[in-house]
Chains A and B, each alone.
Chain A
Amino acid sequence: MSDHSHSPQPHATHAPVTRPGETTEIHETVPHAHATAAPAAHAAGHGGDHGGEHAHGGIGTYLMVFLALCVLTTMSFFTYSSAWPWRDQPQVGWAFMMAVSCTKAMLVVLFFMHVLWEANWKYVLTIPAAMMAVFLALMLVPDVGMRTRMVAQERALYMPRQSDVRLMERAAEAGNAERGGEAH
């Protein structure tokens, strides 16, 4: 390709910015040879800049992750099928689906977003955000989640209740019987 002659240039300027934190063990083992060795590596083979990540990734890994994601999606979809054994206990399905979703999220973050192969900066950015996210959700519980525990009588009058669903179900049963009667 015609780009081969240009390729060392972007690496030459780019490399010092990315290299220091890529992996610490490189600095420990070959502190000074590194600066000269890196451009040579770039010239020899493309993708040397991200060589560390490249070696870990690879199409085979991504396809395996893709397959795992498909299987996991099918697993959570399985709770919808009539073969799911805990249809009368929705909590079991919810816990199962959340476990499956968290597994899927970890797969995407670790492999597709390359977090598995990143240096320790990943914790600096993700852990505080995750903590804030959890606090944010927890702080909604008293105000929003428990807002219907104690409400004015007037409000309770206009609030939908489980009894309204039962009312509808009873009407549906009666209606179905009637419609069934029409058909016969």
Chain B
Amino acid sequence: MSAPALSLPHGDGHDHAHGHDDGHGHHGHVTLQYQPGLPLSRGKLIMWLFLSTEIMFFAALLGSYVVLRFGSPVWPLPHHVHLSEPIGAFNTFVLICSSVTIVLALEAARADKAPQAKLWMLLTLLLGTLFLGVKAYEYSAKFSHGIYPWSPRSRVFEKPDLYYGSAVRARLGEPAIIDKLKELDDTPADKLTSEQVAARGRLQQIRKMVTNPDQQPFDLAVIADQVMPLPSAGSHGHSSGLNDAFPWLRLPAVIPGGNMWASTYFLLTGFHAIHVGVGLLVFAILLGYRLDHARAGMIENAGLYWHFVDLVWIFLFPLLYLF
């Protein structure tokens, strides 16, 4: 059984070596042969080796996320951090579609239908760009709620304690905000929405509480709830707080566990987005070629990478949006 299996590659390699060595080794009878360690082309082998390192890379990231998620005493619900499940599901769908289009590009290239392959490739590029666009929109929604992965910009506090209270006081004492608040106080009620009028009343109450040292004791959790309410587990809606009524206000907000969540979310989705970006770059380069049968290997390797990126998102979506 093993003899023919061994002899064929040997014979093949021999022919192969002759073809290449014609120019150099006429006199030597010993010809060196190239025998691949694994029976696949070098490009594909390298891509798979790279992907196996990528498996470990993302396993470390996803593993630390899961371990932090379940090891933390409190973890925010997706609604606490303004994640939108339908948007996440839509992005999952976009990536699945792009996986199909790249597979179809490969099939077209193997059948030597170059224009068709290019069309599928272009579609993959567009779908990947759409994914990144949606991701950018989601990031901007986080930023607008004061959720940043780093501390000077982040307005997230872990609990409604004295540090939180003094941060609210500091924000309300900033000269620019004092001017804005004066402006708001002087605005006639008919120039504001009814929601904004109600919010203005609550804001004035909070300002009295926080800035007046002779005040009665007050509940910081109430202030935190007024600034940015945490939607309860059952509700799907987004309850509006002072920061939503007046986006310039940018008061500190309380999301228990929110900072650890932000670190893991931005790290995971950020590294994934970088991978998507690299894939798009590869597709853009490939679009410059004629995608016929001779390029099928290149398309296959680019496709393998892209499917892996899709694979990572398949796990990221439920872990980040639905857990």
Contacts and interface: CB of A to CB of B under 8 A. Distances in A.
Given A17-B41, A160-B158, A164-B158, A76 B225 contact: no
Nearest to A94: B323
A21 B39 contact: yes
Contacts of A32: 8, 11
Nearest to A12: B19
A20 B96 contact: no
Contacts of B229: 168, 172, 175
Interface residues of A, number: 94
Given A47-B111, A137-B66, A70 B93 contact: yes
B73 A162 contact: yes
Q: How large is the interface on B (under 10, 10 to 19, 20 to 34, 35 or more residues)?
A: 35 or more
Contacts of B51: 125
Interface in B90-122: 92-93, 96-97, 99-100, 103-104, 107, 110-112, 114
Nearest to B35: A20
Contact of A168 (B13, B62, B256): B256
Contacts of A112: 99-100, 103, 303, 307, 310
A138 to B, nearest CB: 8
Contacts of A144: 64, 67-68, 71
For chain A, what secondary structure do more than half of its interface residues adopt (helix, strand, loop), or is it mixed?
Answer: helix
B144 interface: no
Nearest to A109: B311
A171 interface: yes
Contact of A70 (B5, B9, B96, B224): B96
Given A164-B160, A168-B256, A80 B74 contact: no
Given A19-B12, A121-B38, A137-B60, A46 B293 contact: yes
B218 to A, nearest CB: 11
Interface stretch (B129-137, B184-192, B268-276, B314-322): B314-322
Contacts of B110: 46-47, 50, 54
Nearest to B194: A183
Interface in B285-313: 292-294, 296, 300, 303-304, 307-308, 310-311
B226 A175 contact: yes
Given A46-B112, A97-B323, A16 B230 contact: no
B67 A16 contact: no
Contact of A27 (B4, B13, B38, B100): B4
Interface in B1-23: 1, 4-5, 7-9, 11-13, 15-16, 19
Interface string B57-96: 0011011101110111110000000000100010011001
A70 B74 CA distance: 33
Given A24-B5, A113-B307, A144-B67, A77 B85 contact: yes
A108 B39 contact: no
Given A101-B315, A160-B73, A168-B225, A145 B67 contact: yes
A137 B256 contact: no
Contact of A69 (B15, B53, B96, B322): B96
Contacts of B39: 18, 20-22, 119, 121
B89 A77 contact: yes
A125 B52 contact: yes
Given A69-B96, A129-B52, A175-B229, A17 B72 contact: no
22 contacts: A3-B112, A14-B41, A28-B5, A47-B112, A73-B89, A101-B315, A101-B317, A101-B318, A105-B311, A119-B39, A128-B52, A132-B56, A134-B59, A136-B60, A140-B64, A141-B71, A158-B161, A165-B74, A167-B221, A169-B232, A170-B221, A182-B198
Given A158-B161, A164-B254, 17 more contacts: A19-B12, A21-B36, A31-B4, A32-B8, A59-B104, A66-B100, A112-B307, A113-B307, A121-B39, A137-B67, A140-B64, A145-B67, A146-B71, A160-B159, A161-B73, A161-B256, A167-B160
- Identify the 9 closest CB pairs spanning chains A and B, nearest first: A21-B39, A137-B63, A133-B59, A129-B52, A20-B9, A145-B71, A160-B158, A145-B67, A31-B4
